[in-house]
């Protein structure tokens, strides 16, 4: 099964087949929980709303956009990611002890959790299935350039690749490079260029074109 990047190592629920299987399993689990009195449909709906509105990559994108336009905030973000995110009202247990690493012309950062799927939920939402897969967790460490190439990120031989292993103690967020041609853009417009994959390091911020 391939995902939207065209490779078969990291099946994504966004592919049509995977999405169908995922939704069917979710519906079956919800029905079972309700039938056994372990949860109500209202409680489940509230949780889904919480995940969609209070968590998610749109929060991380706001942080990145602010760092692009505000050098002082960028410095604070790289010094203490958790405190800087809190300045924008973003926080939570899964966002505690966040370390932010910045991409640049000579370095590209990639985040992995080799033990499980530790992830800054408050900034990025739920981790994608490929992030939790054994293939990604093992190959991102052993051959990160090959993995990045499969995600469409081609790096020159002079670019250093740094792989960061997230744990329950420290979770990582990549600050991608700001796309060229975005001078004068608003934070809202800039945030729209920032994808979840770019904040994991498996992608780049979108083009300004």
Percent of the residues in the chain that have a pLDDT greater than 90, as a whole number = 62
Q: What pLDDT is attached to residue 51?
A: 56
Q: For 26-85, write each residue's pLDDT tens digit.
A: 677 778 877 888 778 776 655 555 555 556 799 999 999 999 999 999 999 999 999 999
User: Measuring CA to CA, which residue among 66, 75, 56, 77 is closest to residue 188?
Assistant: 66
Weakest-pLDDT range from 5-9, 113-117, 141-145, 155-159? 5-9
Structure tokens at 118: 């530790």
Rounded CA-CA distance 64/130 in Å is 23
Q: For 127-151, write each residue's pLDDT tens digit.
A: 888 999 999 999 999 999 999 999 9
| Residues with catalytic function | 113, 116-118
Fold of domain 57-200: Nitrile Hydratase; Chain A (3.90.330)
Residue 44: CB atoms within 10 Å: 15
- This prediction has a pTM of 0.77
- The domain ranges of the chain are 10-54, 57-200
């Amino acid at each position: 099964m391939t995902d939207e990047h065209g490779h078969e190592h990291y099946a994504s629920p966004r592919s049509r087949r995977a999405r169908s299987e995922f939704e069917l399993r979710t519906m079956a689990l919800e029905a079972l929980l309700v039938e056994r009195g372990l949860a109500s449909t209202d409680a489940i709906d509230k949780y889904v709303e919480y995940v969609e509105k209070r968590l998610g990559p749109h929060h991380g994108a706001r942080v990145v956009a602010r760092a692009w336009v505000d050098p002082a905030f960028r410095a604070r973000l790289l010094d203490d990611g958790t405190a800087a995110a809190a300045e924008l009202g973003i926080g939570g247990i899964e966002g505690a002890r966040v370390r932010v690493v910045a991409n640049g012309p000579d370095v590209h950062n990639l985040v992995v959790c080799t033990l499980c799927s530790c992830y800054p939920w408050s900034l990025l939402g739920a981790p994608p299935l490929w992030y939790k897969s054994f293939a990604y967790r093992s190959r991102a460490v052993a051959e990160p350039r090959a993995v990045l190439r499969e995600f469409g990120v081609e790096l020159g031989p002079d670019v250093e690749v740094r792989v960061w292993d997230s744990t329950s103690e420290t979770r990582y967020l990549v600050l991608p490079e700001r796309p060229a041609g975005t001078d004068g853009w608003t934070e809202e417009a800039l945030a729209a260029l920032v994808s979840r994959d770019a904040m994991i390091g498996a992608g780049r911020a979108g083009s300004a074109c």
